[in-house]
Structure 1
Amino acid sequence: MTTARHSWLQRISAIASLDDDNRRVLFAYVRGAADAVGRDEAARALGIPRSTASFHLDRLVKDGVLQVEFRKSSDKAGPGSGRPAKLYRPAMDEVGASVPERQYDLAGDLMATAITRSLKGELPVRDALLDVAGRKGQEAGRPGDFLGALADLGYEPMADDAGGYRLLNCPFHRLSQDHEEVVCAMNGAFLKGAATASGLSADNVLPEPGPGHCCARIGSLEPGPKT
């Protein structure tokens, strides 16, 4: 079962795919199985025709909820049993999305990693959080396409009249309501890391507190110093 991060559009598509009773039950069955599941096994377990199981399993694959593998299955015997069987396993361990996009899993990962480092005595927890967020932001950067990276993360960058970009969405919105100082500092460090990894100056990430948008804005897309 993969733990890779899926794009917002992939997650929206997955939720739309599960707006069907058969597909929801099939996903639950495959997700709870100890191993990859064949069409015959799924059909028998759920008491539905094989053709119905096959159709919905393949639709779940198309929508990114399941993935396929081919190998010999102990479920088959007799002529043709030596051929690899088409088996299904989860492509996502859970399916969730929000509109607008939020990144609470990312925030939790950053904070947990920072606390772990602090408990080991490496850094005070705030310093650890800023360091962890900056490093994670560097992983999210995209050389030559900072705005594309921001859009994929859910920031919704929009050109403003000052020649920069306002970030219309805060991916950490609910957390920032009760923990503004901590979350906005973490967010700023993350954005600066993403900016530098994208080839820009970290100084282009500017604070912009206020309701209805992210607590930071992008001053320009001016390249950072070469290293």
Structure 2
Amino acid sequence: MEDPTLAAAAVLSDDLRRSMYGYIRRSDGPVTRDEAADSVGISRKLAAFHLDKLVAAGLLRAGYGRPRETGRVGRAPKVYEPADLDVQVSIPRREHGLLAGILLDAVRTQGPGESGRDAALRVAAERGHELGDAERKRMRPGRLGAERALTCVGEILERHGFEPARATPTLVRLRNCPFHPLAAKDPDLVCGINHAFLAGFLGGLGATTLNATLAPRPGACCVEFGAAIPPASATRSTGA
């Protein structure tokens, strides 16, 4: 699945499209093809081609304005206005919006006697569980063994910028911290939020054969995934 932000950035790499997009964003209202063409000095036909690319990338919305007052009946002109897509490209990928959302929800829902840190960890676990639950319903994986669960977890977290790497058949390390460089300002808090989010994610996914463990490493995510160690009582009951 193509990342819409990267696709939008690729479309904006063209100078003409970037100039027209900037002109439309600065305009007080919807812009016609003729106005967009005049803004960069190209033909209406060529402007229509570039405008359609911007619409396909989710950067613009197209609609129809009022017919021009020319004294005769005519078709309403096609007009363009900015869409809601916010283009921010970072390599490696960052998830500052996710962290900000967790902290905002923590402030809004902090209960009596609950510390700010505890509220943030609670909300992070809830957000992670929601993500895992949504993925579980989409994939319907059933009960997963540790190795298969690690594969599923890696595929999902790859889409969220964690850059998972299989260190052993039963261990996945995350090479990128999506919350960097904010994690450097308060590693105890941010790493705690990250751990709570990823542990909640495993819970929502139903990956009971895995554990999310805090294991800080320089330049990498502070959490890694490994096979859960069965309780001693369970091991004895199986005769191991």
TM-score tier (shorter):
0.7 to 0.9
Give the aligned partner of residue 3 of structure 1.
Answer: none
Deviation at 1:75, TM superposition (A): 4.5
Closer/same/farther in 2, CA of residues 46 and 181 from structure 1, 3 Å limit: same
> Displacement, 1:104?
1.1
Confirm or deny that 1:124 pairs with 2:115. yes
2-structure distance, mates of 1:221, 1:57: 52
Query: 1:158-189: CA deviations, max 9, x gaps?
Result: 21126121111110120111210000000011
Partner of 2:167: 160
Aligned with residue 15 of structure 1, among 3, 9, 15: 9
Residue 50 of structure 1 corresponds to which residue in structure 2? Answer: 44
1:220–1:66 Cα change, 3 Å: farther
Q: Which has the larger radius of gyration?
A: 2
Alignment of 1:135-214 (within 5 A): 135-141=126-132, 142-143=135-136, 144=141, 145-161=152-168, 163-201=170-208, 204-214=211-221
Is the CA contact (8 Å cut-off) linking 2:195 and 2:212 kept in structure 1?
A: yes
Deviation at 1:201, TM superposition (A): 3.0
Instruction: Assess if the C-alpha contact under 8 Å between 1:191 and 1:205 holds in 2.
Output: yes
Q: TM-score, normalised by structure 2?
A: 0.76
Deviation digits for residues 125-173 of structure 1, max 9, x if unmatched? 1111011111111232211443332111101112112612111111012
- Unaligned 5+ segments in structure 2 are 142-151, 230-240
Query: Residues 56-81 of structure 1: CA distance to partner in whole angstroms, max 9, x if unpaired?
Result: 1112123332243x44x214354442
Tell which deviates more after alignment, 106-115 or 142-151. 142-151
Partner of 2:35: 41
TM-score (norm 1): 0.80
Structure 2 CA distance for aligned equivalents of residues 132 and 39 of structure 1: 46
CA–CA distance in 1 between the matches of 2:122 and 2:29? 39
Residue 196 to residue 91, structure 1, CA distance change in 2 (3 Å):
farther
Structure 1 residue 90: Cα displacement: 2.8
Q: Tell me, which stretches of 5 or more residues in structure 1 are unaligned? A: 1-6, 223-227
**RMSD between aligned residues:** 2.7
CA distance in 2, matches of 1:38, 1:29: 11
Residue 217 of structure 1: how far off its partner (Å): 0.6
> Contact 1:207 / 1:216 at 8 angstroms: preserved in 2?
yes
Distance 2:83 2:155 in 1: 25
Structure 1: how far apart are the matches of 2:228 and 2:130? 19
**Corresponding pairs, count:** 211
**Relative to structure 1, is the Cα distance of residues 121 and 54 closer, same or farther in structure 2, using a 3 angstrom cutoff?**
farther
Q: 1:8 to 1:193 in 2, by over 3 A?
A: farther
Rounded to whole Å, the distance in 2 between the matches of 1:35 and 1:139 is 38
